[in-house]
Amino acid sequence: MPWTPNLSVGLKHIDDQHKTLFEKAEKLFEAGKNNHAKEYIGELLKFLDDYTKKHFADEEKYMLSINYPGYNEQKKAHTAFIEQLTKLSSDYETSGGNLLVLLNANQIVVDWLTKHISGMDKKIGEFAQNRR
């Protein structure tokens, strides 16, 4: 599932990072579907993990800069997702690169991102717009 305009939070720097996360999740899904080398999939999982951590750090810094009241809730959700992503990567590795594990993991990532963006991140954009 690709990023779509209805997932926009109205803040370009956050939307651009969300788009990148969706692009990489899509590439991960395609790599699994097309039986690409396990190393390539491993690279994509590592990128997704690293980029997610950077994105969350950037988003949290921005929330603090605007005194966003939902910061603590967001921080907890981010921490939980990073733990989930770490577990998914570990499950993929311990499964010996099982593609079903990868495809399920990808679905979980996309579902989480979609729900998180529409349910929580959009509120950051609304808060920022109302401050102006």
The model's confidence at residue 59, banded by pLDDT at 50, 70 and 90, is: very high
Integer Cα distance of 6 and 79 in angstroms: 25
Domains defined for the chain, CATH in brackets: 12-131 (1.20.120.50)
Q: Tell me, yes or no, if the pTM score tops 0.85.
A: no
Nearest of 85, 92, 87 to residue 111 by alpha carbon: 85
Based on the number of CB atoms within 10 Å of its own CB, is 103 exposed (0-12), middle (13-18) or buried (19 or more)?
middle
Predicted confidence at residue 39, as pLDDT, reads 64
With vertex at residue 130, the alpha carbon angle to CA 14 and CA 61, rounded to the nearest 5 degrees, is 35
Nearest of 34, 63, 58, 47 to residue 109 by alpha carbon: 47
User: Which of 25-39, 58-72, 103-117 comes out lowest in average pLDDT?
Assistant: 25-39
